Amino acid sequence: MAESAQNSIRIEKHPILGDLQSTGEVTIYFEGKALKARAGEPIMSALVAAGVSIFRYTKKGLPRRMFCGIGRCTDCIMNVDGVPGVRTCVTEVREGMKIEKQIGNGIWQIQKEEEAGNEAQ
Amino acid sequence: MKPNSKPAVVIGAGPAGLCAAIELKKAGAPVILMDENAKPGGQLFKQIHKFFGSKEHKAGVRGFDIGNELLAESLQLGIDVRLNTEVVGIEKDQKVWAVENRTRSYVIDADRIIIATGATENALSFEGWTLPGVMTAGCAQTLINVHRVLPGHCVLMVGSGNVGVIVAYQLLQAGAEVAAVIEAAPNLGGYGVHTAKVRRAGVPFFTSTTVIKAEGKESVERAVIANVDSKFIPIAGTEKILDVDTICIAVGLTPSIELASLAGCGMMYVPELGGNMPIHNEYMQTTIETVYIAGDIAGVEEASTAMEEGRLAGIHAAWAMGYMTEQEMQSKTEKTRERLAALRQGIFGLKRLIAKERVIQRGIAQ
């Protein structure tokens, strides 16, 4: 089944909150595919808006997406810019961010120069 | 008495923490407000419904408007708000260990600590509950009201308490369909006003009913519900299948007591208020004189009560630090307690009031 099966959508109009205001656009990459996200939103909602229904697989191969949505449960963790275990519900999107599904505990994929950069900080 | 120069550290910038910090700052006390999130306000910004209570309690005002008011006040007062700052430890002598931006760690020598870390939604275990599409009601509420995206199109709401009915209604407002609201107990649990709105929208309510299975290949495609007996055991042969893509769990919250526990605060079990929680007295002081709690960590209630508890803690801490006279502290405390008492009326409020009294009696005795 296609990942867009859930066919989630943006809430453009709302009886209490009014029309959705633009916050600016950010391009992120999910499994190499470019997606448009709203500036300031977390990775989680950008992926939900794009119809992504699986964020990761457990060691046993079971699919997971999100559960608490506020950074408590770690159900929604993914590999973000080479770092596994990132809580996508409380991590804001950033231009050019690379997001991959995590399998089990995931693997670190940080480039050598980035490692050197981090050490220098 | 010379006021203390060491700051009060308030942990958690939700309604309770914001109000505590505001009271401290207004009294002239040095205060640092920390929150692990990128934005302050806690869970106020996803609450788009009107609050209950009197005008003093901001009744009729929506949660996000209250959030904006509190943020404006804290900004105007110039409170030192540290976001993306996670408190990971509380050591002896009020040493608060914080990690900023997940990269820099530092310790603050605090004079008083107010822990306002809130509560965590409970999970419910049933076959298929880890499938994508099963989430807490608060998760769905955050997605629709804060991030403006629908997690699914057809929802089963498990739990008819206030969170269940309010989020069910907000899902309808956001454009989703709500297939049913189910309740394991024989009676509905939410405020009549909220329940009636969902009923009027044509959503069926099933009492003495639970969810027994979420089915679907890689995400929820169906939910199986069944009647339960008086011992909450599903009755065979009563199963019903609902074609939903989302199952929301609204089965209560548990106080987030980790930091209070690390600090060594005495605990007690109060089922009416969400489970284990720190013992506290009428000033919100825990069994450790210098550590206060406020809001959902002190028993799961509402944002309006959390705000008043935050004020109580802030007022007492300001006095204890030497920034307020005893007379002023007592008079402010009395007024705050009156407002708090007014919020704990009615059938639901009374149950919480009695439970809170039990906690406070333990707190005074300690």
Q: Work out the average pLDDT over B273-284.
A: 97
Structural domains of chain B, ranges and CATH numbers in brackets: 8-120+253-365 (3.50.50.60), 123-249 (3.50.50.60)
DSSP state of B91: E
The pLDDT of residue A3 is: 42
Identify the residue among A19, A38, A65 best suited for mutation to test binding to B, counting B beta carbons within 10 A and taking the highest: A65
Q: Is A20 left (phi over 0), alpha (psi -120 to 50) or beta?
A: beta
Q: CB of B52 within 8 A of CB of B191? A: yes
> What are B5-27's pLDDT values in tens digits?
899 999 999 999 999 999 999 99
What are the strands of the beta sheet with A102-103, ordered from one edge?
A63-64, A56-57, A102-103
Instruction: Flag whether A114 is in a domain.
Output: no
The pLDDT of residue A112 is: 59
Distance of residue A107 Cα from the nearest chain B Cα, in angstroms: 19
User: Measured over all CA atoms, what is the biggest interatomic distance in chain A, rounded to whole angstroms?
Assistant: 51
The helix (H) or strand (E) run that includes residue B346 is helix B346-365
| Per-residue burial over B245-255, b = 16 or more CB atoms within 10 Å of its CB, e = otherwise | bbbbbbbbbbb
Instruction: Flag whether A49 is in a domain.
Output: yes
Instruction: Flag whether A34 is in a domain.
Output: yes
**Amino acid identity of A30?**
F
| Chain B residues within an 8 Å CB radius of A89 | 139, 142
Identify the residue among A7, A19, A45, A92 best suited for mutation to test binding to B, counting B beta carbons within 10 A and taking the highest: A45
Instruction: Flag whether A44 is in a domain.
Output: yes
Q: Work out the average pLDDT over B278-302.
A: 97
Interface of B with A in 210-239 (CB under 8 A): 217-219
Instruction: Flag whether A120 is in a domain.
Output: no
Domain containing A63 equals: 3-9+18-108
HSE-up of residue A63 (Cα within 13 Å, Cβ side): 17
CA terminus-to-terminus distance, chain A: 45
> What are B19-73's pLDDT values in tens digits?
999 999 999 999 999 999 999 999 999 999 888 766 666 667 898 999 999 999 9
Instruction: Flag whether A117 is in a domain.
Output: no
> Would you tell me how many other CB atoms lie within 10 Å of the CB of residue B213?
17
Subunit contact A63:B218, Cβ cutoff 8 A: yes
What would the two tokens of residue A17 be?
Answer: 């909150």
A106 touches chain B (CB under 8 A): no
Helix axes B63-77, B15-26, angle to 10 degrees: 30
Instruction: Kindly tell me the burial class for residue B86, based on how many C-beta atoms sit within 10 Å of its own C-beta (0-12, 13-18, 19 or more).
Output: middle
How many domains are there within chain A?
Answer: 1
pLDDT band at B214 (very low <50, low <70, confident <90, very high): very high
Instruction: Flag whether A82 is in a domain.
Output: yes
ipTM of the prediction: 0.92
Of B131, B130, B138, B122, the residue nearest B14 (C-alpha): B138
B142 touches chain A (CB under 8 A): yes
B-chain residue closest to A14, CA distance: B174
B-chain residue closest to A15, CA distance: B173
Of B169, B173, B135, the residue nearest B151 (C-alpha): B135
Of B342, B340, B259, B333, the residue nearest B306 (C-alpha): B340
Of B173, B168, B170, B175, the residue nearest B189 (C-alpha): B168
CATH label of the domain that carries residue A67: 3.10.20.440
Residue B305 confidence (pLDDT) above 80? yes
pLDDT band at A11 (very low <50, low <70, confident <90, very high): very high
Phi/psi at B89 (5° precision): -165, 150
Instruction: Flag whether A24 is in a domain.
Output: yes
Distance CA B180, CA A70 (A): 25
